[in-house]
């Protein structure tokens, strides 16, 4: 009976989690002027006033989307401490900030370096200053939790065929106009569904009393219950729930689970080095390969992302790169080739590169999804530049997810729709010709 109840509870959990995945929806927020000013924006406004070339006047390529507020993510706005408490959000002291005069602080977690006045929030909307102390509002407040195949991250060279309990809170330090998870990444934490989600998952945690937060140790407990081999911090930008991610990663390590960071790569060097101590793998979105693209479509900058990739390499964290190929935005031969050359010269040819199909989302609705031929063209360029493991994702075409041995050309991992059908890697080597295949292949 006990076994039957346990099976029933697990089945209920899986159904519930599937049903509640990401259920918050964007509210119509009145356009407000951000109450923060980041050095990035400051620099931009200084630059534009000097040169008289307002960002809105920079000529766009023909047919391209014009992002109305492309130099920042969705505007932040104040939230009182009382409101934070009433909504059962967190007042968890943040790491990486510097108190300034007049009760202001500067957040040093990501390269935005927001200056935040007392009572205001940073650009990611989830870090607020009360009385000269910065607080992480989403610590312990997940809004999405799924037991995904690791191939969905995507990671093709990291424990293939395993499950990864994937967690997200609200918030992001980017403002990508094409975001596919915009309804949680660009949302305000006060509009999130964390209480519903915690209530659902608590059914699997019989001793759980506090239904206002999901502790790091409880995420680990859930991962164990669901037979996950890793925990992924993903869907939104996990860097903005840094403290929650780090504490969970520490607990996961103790329990023998791996940690996976799925990220835009916009994190300062110091916190990144700290995080790397507990990371086993990462997938970094390299969204395009020009500062102009990052500015126009993501409200951000490219250079820190490249720095992150270099640090992951230096720290010997296994990582793969995803490039979402968007028509008329980052799909030129020139940009793709430039990116591949940079990868080859700075990271090496063993880093797997995933070209992913764009599907219209959020504010970028003015163009069709990426044609398959464009993705094939991108993959061809990457191979010409020597990248050994090139994948096409977010399409339902057989063969594009397979890993081929660069030495003998045989299929060493066969995948279909993110499922592993065949794995011919033995002890990190091709079963057919014994060539070593880079990646993490055993637990
Ligand atoms: S983490 Fe958030 S508050 Fe901190 S600098 Fe980045 S965007 Fe600003």
The residue whose CA has the least distance to atom 2 of ligand 1 is 124
Cite the beta strand spans of 228-271 per DSSP E. 230-233, 258-263
Ligand 1 site, CB within 6 A: 107, 109-110, 112-114, 122-124, 127, 173, 240
The residue whose CA has the least distance to atom 5 of ligand 1 is 113
In a domain, 34, yes or no: no
Q: Let me know: does 35 contact 260? Beta carbons within 8 Å.
A: no
Mutate to test the pocket of ligand 1, among 172, 173, 175, 242 (most ligand atoms within 8 A of CB): 173
Q: Which atom of ligand 1 is nearest to the CA of 97?
A: 4
Q: How far apart are CA 194 and CA 214, in angstroms?
A: 9
Q: How far apart are CA 179 and CA 173, in angstroms?
A: 12
In a domain, 115, yes or no: no
pLDDT value at residue 52: 28
Q: How far apart are CA 245 and CA 252, in angstroms?
A: 10
Between the CA of 297 and the centroid of ligand 1 the distance, in Å, is 19
Between the CA of 260 and the centroid of ligand 1 the distance, in Å, is 21
Q: Which atom of ligand 1 is nearest to the CA of 112?
A: 5
Phi-psi sector, 328: left (phi>0), alpha (psi -120 to 50), beta: left
pLDDT value at residue 9: 52
Between the CA of 239 and the centroid of ligand 1 the distance, in Å, is 9
231 DSSP β-pair partners: 165, 259
Contacts of 342 (CB under 8 A, 6+ apart): 289, 306
Q: In what order do the strands lie in the sheet with 390-393?
A: 144-149, 163-168, 230-233, 258-263, 281-285, 318-325, 353-357, 390-393
The residue whose CA has the least distance to atom 3 of ligand 1 is 122
Between the CA of 331 and the centroid of ligand 1 the distance, in Å, is 29
pLDDT value at residue 76: 72
Mutate to test the pocket of ligand 1, among 34, 98, 120, 124 (most ligand atoms within 8 A of CB): 124
Read off the tokens for 16. 């519930």
Structural domain total, the chain: 1
pLDDT value at residue 73: 62
In a domain, 17, yes or no: no
140 DSSP β-pair partners: none
Q: Let me know: does 157 contact 281? Beta carbons within 8 Å.
A: no
Q: How far apart are CA 31 and CA 19, in angstroms?
A: 32
The residue whose CA has the least distance to atom 4 of ligand 1 is 107
Residue 416 CB neighbours (<10 A): 15
Phi-psi sector, 113: left (phi>0), alpha (psi -120 to 50), beta: left
Q: Which helix (H) or strand (E) holds 324?
A: strand 318-325
Could you tell me the CATH number of the domain that includes residue 342?
Answer: 3.20.20.70
In a domain, 46, yes or no: no
Mutate to test the pocket of ligand 1, among 77, 96, 107, 125 (most ligand atoms within 8 A of CB): 107
**Phi, psi torsion values for 201, nearest 5 degrees:** -70, -20
Between the CA of 127 and the centroid of ligand 1 the distance, in Å, is 7
The residue whose CA has the least distance to atom 6 of ligand 1 is 110
pLDDT value at residue 5: 54
In a domain, 16, yes or no: no
In a domain, 19, yes or no: no
Q: Quote ipTM for the complex.
A: 1.00
Cite the beta strand spans of 94-243 per DSSP E. 97-99, 105-107, 115-116, 127-130, 133-136, 144-149, 163-168, 230-233
Q: Which atom of ligand 1 is nearest to the CA of 242?
A: 1
Tens of pLDDT, residue by residue, the chain (443 residues): 454 555 555 544 554 444 434 333 233 232 222 233 333 333 333 332 222 223 333 333 333 333 333 345 667 778 999 999 999 999 999 999 999 989 999 999 999 999 999 999 999 999 999 999 999 999 999 999 999 999 999 999 999 999 999 999 999 999 999 999 999 999 999 999 999 999 999 999 999 999 999 999 999 999 999 999 999 999 999 999 999 999 999 999 999 999 999 999 999 999 999 999 999 999 999 999 999 999 999 999 999 999 999 999 999 999 999 999 999 999 999 999 999 999 999 999 999 999 999 999 999 999 999 999 999 999 999 999 999 999 999 998 999 999 999 999 999 999 998 999 999 999 999 999 999 999 999 98
Q: Which atom of ligand 1 is nearest to the CA of 123?
A: 7
Q: Let me know: does 116 contact 108? Beta carbons within 8 Å.
A: no
Structural domain including 203 reads 144-430
Q: Let me know: does 67 contact 299? Beta carbons within 8 Å.
A: yes
- Exposed, middle or buried, 345 (CB in 10 Å: 0-12/13-18/19+)? exposed
Q: Is 266 helix (H, G, I), strand (E, B) or coil?
A: coil
In a domain, 76, yes or no: no
pLDDT value at residue 63: 38
Contacts of 354 (CB under 8 A, 6+ apart): 154, 156, 283, 320, 321, 322, 323, 391, 392, 393
Q: Directed axis angle between helix 242-254 and helix 269-276, to 10°?
A: 20
Q: Kindly provide the b/e burial profile for residues 237-258, where b requires at least 16 CB atoms within 10 angstroms of the residue's own CB.
A: bbbbbbbbbbbbbbbbbeeebb
Q: Which atom of ligand 1 is nearest to the CA of 94?
A: 4
With CA atoms as reference, report the closest residue to 356 among 180, 164, 237: 180
Q: How far apart are CA 172 and CA 206, in angstroms?
A: 32
- Exposed, middle or buried, 1 (CB in 10 Å: 0-12/13-18/19+)? exposed
Instruction: Give the torsion sign (CA, 38, 51, 67, 395).
Output: negative
In a domain, 91, yes or no: no
Between the CA of 240 and the centroid of ligand 1 the distance, in Å, is 7
With CA atoms as reference, report the closest residue to 74 among 184, 157, 161: 184
Between the CA of 124 and the centroid of ligand 1 the distance, in Å, is 6
């Amino acid at each position: 009976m006990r076994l039957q109840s346990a099976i029933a509870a697990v089945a209920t959990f899986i159904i519930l989690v599937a049903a509640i995945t990401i259920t918050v929806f964007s509210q119509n927020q009145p356009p407000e002027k951000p109450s923060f000013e980041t050095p990035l924006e400051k620099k931009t406004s200084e630059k534009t006033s000097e040169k008289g070339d307002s960002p809105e006047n920079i000529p766009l390529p023909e047919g391209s989307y014009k992002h109305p507020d492309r130099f920042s993510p969705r505007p932040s706005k104040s939230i009182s401490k009382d409101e934070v408490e009433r909504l059962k959000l967190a007042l968890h002291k943040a790491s990486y900030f510097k108190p300034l005069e007049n009760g202001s602080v500067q957040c040093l977690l990501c390269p935005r370096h927001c200056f935040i006045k007392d009572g205001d929030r940073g650009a990611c909307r989830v870090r607020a200053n009360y009385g000269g102390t910065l607080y992480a509002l989403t610590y312990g407040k997940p809004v999405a939790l799924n037991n995904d195949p690791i191939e969905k991250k995507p990671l093709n060279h990291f424990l293939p065929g395993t499950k990864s309990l994937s967690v997200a809170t609200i918030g992001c330090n980017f403002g990508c106009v094409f975001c596919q998870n915009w309804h949680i990444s660009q949302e305000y934490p006060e509009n999130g569904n964390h209480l519903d989600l915690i209530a659902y998952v608590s059914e699997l945690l019989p001793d759980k009393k506090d239904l206002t937060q999901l502790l790091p140790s409880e995420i680990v407990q859930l991962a164990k219950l669901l037979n996950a081999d890793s925990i992924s911090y993903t869907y939104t930008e996990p860097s903005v729930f840094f403290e929650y991610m780090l504490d969970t990663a520490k607990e996961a390590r103790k329990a023998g689970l791996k940690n996976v960071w799925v990220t835009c790569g916009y994190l300062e060097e110091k916190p990144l080095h700290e995080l790397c101590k507990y990371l086993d793998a990462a997938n970094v979105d390299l969204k395009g390969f020009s500062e102009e693209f990052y500015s126009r479509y993501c409200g951000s900058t490219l250079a820190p992302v490249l720095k992150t990739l270099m640090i992951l390499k230096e720290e010997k964290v296994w990582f793969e790169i995803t490039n979402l190929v968007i028509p008329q935005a980052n799909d030129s031969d020139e940009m793709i080739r430039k990116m591949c050359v940079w990868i080859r010269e700075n990271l090496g040819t063993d880093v797997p590169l995933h070209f992913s199909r764009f599907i219209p989302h959020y504010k970028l609705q003015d163009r069709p999804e990426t044609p398959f031929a464009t993705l094939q063209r991108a993959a061809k360029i990457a191979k010409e530049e020597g990248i050994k493991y090139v994948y096409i994702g977010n399409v339902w075409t057989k063969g594009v997810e397979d890993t081929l041995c660069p030495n003998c050309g045989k299929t060493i991992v066969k995948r279909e729709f993110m499922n592993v059908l065949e794995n011919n890697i033995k002890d990190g080597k091709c079963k057919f010709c014994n060539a070593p295949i880079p990646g993490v292949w055993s637990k």
